[in-house]
A and B are shown apart, each in its own frame.
Chain A
Amino acid sequence: MDFATFLIQLLNGVQYGLLLFLIASGLTLIFGIMGVINLAHGSFYMVGAYLAFSLTGLIGSFWLALPAGVVLAVLLGIALEWLLIRHLYRRDHLYQVLLTYGLILMFEELRSILFGDDVHAVAVPALLNFSIRLTDTLSYPVYRLAMSGVCLLLAAGMYWLIARTRLGMMIRAGSVNREMVQALGINVGLLYRLVFALGVALAAFAGMLAAPVASVYPGMGNQVLIISFVVIVIGGIGSVRGALVAALLIGLADVFGQVVFPQIAGMTVYLVMAAVLLWRPRGLFGSA
């Protein structure tokens, strides 16, 4: 591997890592902070991709489809929390697993009924639909670079929200001691509904943003579910900063694992996870 190729692979790793952070960010909120095991996270990602597909077709502009999709996703999140999730906060994790697993099946069937089983595509918006030449054979698609930028903004925004705002303080307090926060006069029910909706919206946003490069197809959510949990667990449950570092670590491990050890490419990510957990059982930034 010459130096230029090494640098490009480094870029690939960082870029993939940031994308992983974007996908896992919603799960950091729902699983990491609310403590709800949400297996339907991949489904919300898929919902986002299909929203991007159908709304872009309907409205005719990807840029308008994005905010419209986020609004719809927030509404979906609020409805799901109110109908289903809120009944399970005090229950065992197993109930949450069963319920959110059921949601996966439901969303898959709905997708099949509404959109069929074909592969669909969302066009890369014209503004970003070009590539930068890196070497005489390779160019880099600008849309991917733009995605990385959005991921960084989002990471900063989430860190600010959780660590620096009053809302973030209430969320953190609520996750530690629900009753006490309630006793202090804060509407915890509403708070959790907001956080859940935000988590759903983030997952859907990731799906929408990824749709132009990932294409839109049945079962696409299942692929991102496991890797999202890996990111959260390595980073330390509940830590936004940890999720970002873990996502970058996984991105780099995946890219270089693929190139250097192609025979075990499927395993490198999990080897990294095992190593990190042996060293720090609560993850990189997990609180003891």
Chain B
Amino acid sequence: MDQTRQAHGRRRFLKTAAGAAALTAGTLHAPYVMAQPSKVKVGFLLPYTGTYARLGTAITDAFKLHVNEHGGRLGGREIEYVQVDSEAKPAKATDNTNRLVNLDKVDVIVGPVHSGVAVAMVRVTRESGTLTIDPNAGAGVVTGALCAPNVFRTSFSNWQPAYPMGKVLADRGMKKAVTMTWKYAAGQEAIGGFVENFTAHGGSIVKELWVPFPKVEFQSLLTEIASLKPDAVFVFFAGGGAVKFVKDYAAAGLHNSVPLFGSGFLTDGTLKAQGDAAQGLETTLHYGDGLDLPKNLAFRESYAKATGREADVYAVQGYDAAQLLRIGLEAAHGDVKAKKTMIGAMESTEIDSPRGKFKLSKAHNPVQDIYLRKVIGMENKVQGVAHKALADPATGCKMA
């Protein structure tokens, strides 16, 4: 498979290279025209095939939507795009990032979706100094041990959406909880956040259950949960695994005796497939349906008009990545080489996001409200704010 994909990638690269060559040739022949500055190059490192293709597309569309709302220009400069399919494969992330940085010579990298890709990508861009905006991947180290002045994130850290649920459950008088997730970084970081806050407020963890990633056979652990009889179960699952887990949990009759909670990805983009099994589930996330903010309503309307799809949390994060870039470019009057000015403006700004206004932490991760949501019909209805202006601890970040 690698062979064919690589050949495909090589062809695409040749096309891009040929395009770039043509562009350079164009500028060489027109040294006297001067007036029009060259375009700002934005490189998307996002999955356009595979399980996460839907996420990559939503982020790209929302990013372009914001640029188009400003007449295709940010800070007076036209924007052009280079799209590289990350395939959500960490093994290819270093090569893909190097290609964008060294061959396409992009000014900004926007990506990725997958945490493993993010870690490899950031290792490259913190060396090259390329401005980087992470519109999804939640790996803690991106704004933790690997944080850098040129690396920003407009989404969340894996710790962030899970942490508030600990206090929510403790406040409801729940004392004993069981946690369950896939044994990989995102799951471990999310469960860590929940456990930290739950135990800090007097709760105790009866047992942490782990499933090898990406296995979706849960029956034996559901039996385990039934025999432990905790007050609550907190899980991190996403995508196909989330659908199967929620359905299995209900089919095992556990939803009647042991309430299930999770970070919001458990019920995001999966409700149609989960059907009745998801009704009433409560989760925490930095976005939710029916968020009654003028910015959100306007965004949802224009996104639906532009793409024919309903906006989701991924679209919001992509839109905010474009907002953040605009703020930087406007401050530098379009001079993408004036990185200090751009970074200074970007890290001190307040972004008017569809999810609600937020600022960035010193480690460049959003300091944002985390909402408590409840599944009602086909929506994750916002019930209230579970934690106001929550900042990631940014463990290991020297800038913080």
Which residues of A pack against B, CB within 8 Å? Answer: 1-2, 5, 8-9, 12-13, 15-16, 101-102, 104-105, 109, 112, 116-121, 123-124, 131, 133, 135-141, 143-144, 213-220, 223, 254-256, 258-259, 262-263, 265-266
Contacts and interface: CB of A to CB of B under 8 A. Distances in A.
A15 B219 contact: yes
Given A16-B219, A131-B253, A220-B240, A5 B51 contact: no
Contacts of B248: 213
Contacts of B174: none
Contacts of B244: 213-215
Interface stretch (B31-39, B155-163, B265-273, B295-303): B265-273
A217 B252 contact: no
23 contacts: A5-B226, A12-B219, A15-B219, A16-B220, A104-B1, A105-B4, A112-B49, A116-B54, A118-B269, A118-B273, A124-B251, A131-B253, A137-B229, A138-B253, A139-B252, A144-B251, A215-B244, A217-B239, A219-B51, A219-B240, A223-B215, A259-B224, A266-B215
B254 interface: yes
A191 B272 CA distance: 44
B94 interface: no
A13 B221 CA distance: 12
Contacts of A220: 240
**9 tightest Cβ-Cβ pairs between the two chains A and B:** A139-B253, A266-B212, A217-B240, A138-B226, A121-B273, A141-B251, A255-B220, A137-B226, A117-B53
A106 to B, nearest CB: 10
B349 interface: no
Contacts of B258: 137
A97 B201 CA distance: 55
B1 A119 contact: no
Contact of B274 (A15, A121, A138): A121
A258 B220 contact: yes
Interface string B241-277: 0111001100111100110000000000110111100
Contact of A133 (B54, B247, B253): B253
B364 to A, nearest CB: 30
A213 B214 CA distance: 16
A9 B50 contact: no
B86 to A, nearest CB: 14
B191 to A, nearest CB: 13
Given A119-B273, A220-B240, 20 more contacts: A1-B227, A5-B223, A105-B4, A109-B49, A117-B54, A118-B272, A118-B273, A119-B239, A121-B274, A137-B253, A138-B223, A138-B252, A143-B251, A213-B251, A215-B273, A218-B51, A254-B217, A258-B211, A259-B220, A266-B215
Nearest to A116: B54
Contacts of A144: 219, 251
A135 B248 CA distance: 16
Given A118-B269, A215-B244, A217-B243, A131 B257 contact: no
A5 B210 CA distance: 19
B226 A219 contact: no
A8 B224 CA distance: 10
Nearest to B212: A266
Interface in B15-59: 49-54
Contacts of A117: 50-54
B272 A121 contact: yes
A256 B272 CA distance: 33
Nearest to A258: B220
A219 B1 CA distance: 14
A213 B239 contact: no
B183 interface: yes
B146 interface: no
A121 B217 contact: no
Given A118-B54, A214-B244, A217-B243, A105 B217 contact: no
B239 A131 contact: no
A262 B209 contact: yes
B216 interface: yes
A208 B161 CA distance: 36
B106 to A, nearest CB: 26
Contacts of B211: 258, 265
Contact of A217 (B51, B221, B224): B51
Given A16-B217, A137-B226, A138-B226, A101 B275 contact: no
